[in-house]
Each structure stands twice: as C-alpha cells, then as structure tokens.
C-alpha cells in the first residue's frame, strides 16, 4: 500500500458536512445517540448469546458474529467522526485514513457474506428441521464464519492496494465524513478503468451473488412455510426470518445503490447521506430488529436481569 506519484503521506481533511455548520450540530447529536444504541444493543446480544445456554445455537452464533462485526465497523468510524464534528479541526492522519478505509471494506464485505450464511441457516432450520443439527454442526458454522471473514479480508486488501496507489496530485480533501472508497477515488487526478472493473467484479461476488442466494433461500422457505398448518410454528418462523430479511433489505439496499452504480451519477450530498445511513443507522437497528421480534432473546435478557437482581439482593 505504498503511495506513489503525488500521493504524499500527509494528513487528510475530512470535509464531511463542514459547509453546513448548523447541520453538523444536529448530525453530531444524531450520530452520538445512534452510536450508544449500537454499543449497548450489539454488546447485549453478544453477552446474552454467550451467557444463556439455550441460545447456543447456529443462529445466535451467527448473530453474535454480526453484532461483533457491527461494533468493530462503527468504532472504526464514529469516534474520529465525532472528534471532527465537535472540534475545529477536520483532519485525520494518513495512517488513520488507511485504517478506516481498510476496515470499512473488510467488515462491509464480511457482512455481505455473513448475511448469506445466516439465510442458509434459516433455510436449513425451516426446510430440513429433522436434519438441522446434523447439517448445521459446530465445525461447519465455524468454517462458514471463517470463510466470510477471510473473504472480506481478501477483497479489502485488493481494493485498498489499488485505490491507495492512485496519484492524488497533492489533493488532501476527502469529501465525506470518513475515508470511504468512492470519496478517495474522486480525490485521484487520473481515471482508473482497472479500479472500476475490479469494484464491479467484487460487487458481483460480494453483493449480487450473496443477495441472489438469500433470495433463493427465502423463496424456498416461503414455499415450505405455506405448507405449515401450525400457526404457532408459522409465527415463530415469520419472526426470525422477518428480522433477517429486514436487516438484509436495509444493508444491501444502500450498499448496492452506493457501490454498483457509476460514481459520477451519485451527487456528493446524496452519497454522504446514504453513507451516513448504512454506517450509523443500520448497525444500531440490527440488534433492535432482532430483539424486538425475537421472544427467545427477550426472555433470555429478562432471565439474566432477574438472576442479577436476585444475586444483588442475596
């Protein structure tokens, strides 16, 4: 990831919403609140999934990984963003920018694959209930999660290397609130057809293919659900699958819009607000969506709180 041809290792300036000072104050409060919700919500899911033995299932193993991923993703972006929103300086070091850029790509690609894995888990649970424990054994779950993390790592290394080698001709202003790929590509003083092709190819692999597999899985699940006569079981399936589909829609909808369309067709402000949504809002909504629609998680939280209360009294 060496800099070349005018790509000096100086601090970058994150413009963000600096042209709208009044809007910055509103956004800073908005971001801070959603970050706290993200920290509390995702940490709760991880702890509950670990502490409650009834939740030691593939579904909650994947959900814990999703929550951990969201925690890492937001933490790599929001603290620096809040510093820039609250203070007069809007700068970020070259190293900090590279780390933000790398982790955003790595964790974003990993989440694409992880959501597809979770869809397969729901397919196995609904369509192969008698063989579910045999199909989704612990070793397979671990290998699927490891594949998702390694796949995200590989894509991030490729895109980071190509993007950071682009000559910037002294440009230091990143027209976004964090070091995201579209903003860094726009900083370059040359057009790179190679990056555009690679981004599109990886977009197909990490966005369109997983999304297609998710849709196929839920198509089969829908057919299976239509044959179920038990209303209680039908409702349970709807709650768990509905939560996952909601997260998929929020995440894939904004990511595909940002990365699969030509960068020139997205206005600067439009891109910033879409980026704000999938980096700040979506990670905070994931735990709320899963807990509000999931009786197992809610009962586990109540049980743990009751145990803690009882222990405190005794």
CA distances from 260 to 140, 169, 212 (A): 31, 27, 15
Answer yes or no: is pLDDT of 62 > 90: yes
For strands 173-174 and 12-14, give the pairing: parallel
User: pLDDT of 78-120, one tens digit each?
Assistant: 999 898 888 778 888 988 999 999 999 999 999 999 999 999 9
CA distance linking residue 233 with residue 226, whole number of Å: 12
Residue 302 has what pLDDT?
Answer: 75
Closest CA to 58 of 160, 134, 172, 113: 134
CA distance linking residue 23 with residue 97, whole number of Å: 24
Q: Which domains does the chain have, with CATH numbers?
A: 9-295 (1.20.1070.10)
On average, the pLDDT of the chain sits at 83
| pTM, 2 dp | 0.84
């Amino acid at each position: 990831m060496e800099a070349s041809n005018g790509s000096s290792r100086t601090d970058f300036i994150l413009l963000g919403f600096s042209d709208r000072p009044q809007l910055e104050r509103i956004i800073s409060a908005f971001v801070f609140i959603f970050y706290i919700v993200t920290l509390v919500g995702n940490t709760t899911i991880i702890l509950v999934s670990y502490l409650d033995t009834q939740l030691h299932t593939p579904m909650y193993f994947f959900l814990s990984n999703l929550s951990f991923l969201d925690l890492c993703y937001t933490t790599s972006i929001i603290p620096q963003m809040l510093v820039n929103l609250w203070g007069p300086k809007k700068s970020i070091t070259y190293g900090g920018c590279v780390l933000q850029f790398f982790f955003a790509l790595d964790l974003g690609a990993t989440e694409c694959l992880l959501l597809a894995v979770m869809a397969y888990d729901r397919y196995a649970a609904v369509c192969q209930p008698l063989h579910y424990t045999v199909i989704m054994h612990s070793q397979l779950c671990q290998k699927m999660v490891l594949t998702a993390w390694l796949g995200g790592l590989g894509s991030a290394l490729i895109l980071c290397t190509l993007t950071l080698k682009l000559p910037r001709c002294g440009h230091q202003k990143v027209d976004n609130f964090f070091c995201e790929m579209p903003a860094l590509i726009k900083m370059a003083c040359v057009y790179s057809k190679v990056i555009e092709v690679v981004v599109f190819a990886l977009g197909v692999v990490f966005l369109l293919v997983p999304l297609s597999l998710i849709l196929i899985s839920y198509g089969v699940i829908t057919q299976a659900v239509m044959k179920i006569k038990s209303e209680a079981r039908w409702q349970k399936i709807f709650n768990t699958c509905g939560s996952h589909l909601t997260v998929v829609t929020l995440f894939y909808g904004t990511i595909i819009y940002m990365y699969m369309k030509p960068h020139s067709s997205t206005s600067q402000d439009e891109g910033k607000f879409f980026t704000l949504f999938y980096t700040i809002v979506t990670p905070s909504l994931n735990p709320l969506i899963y807990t509000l629609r999931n009786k197992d998680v809610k009962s586990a939280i109540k049980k743990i709180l009751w145990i803690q209360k009882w222990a405190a009294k005794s």
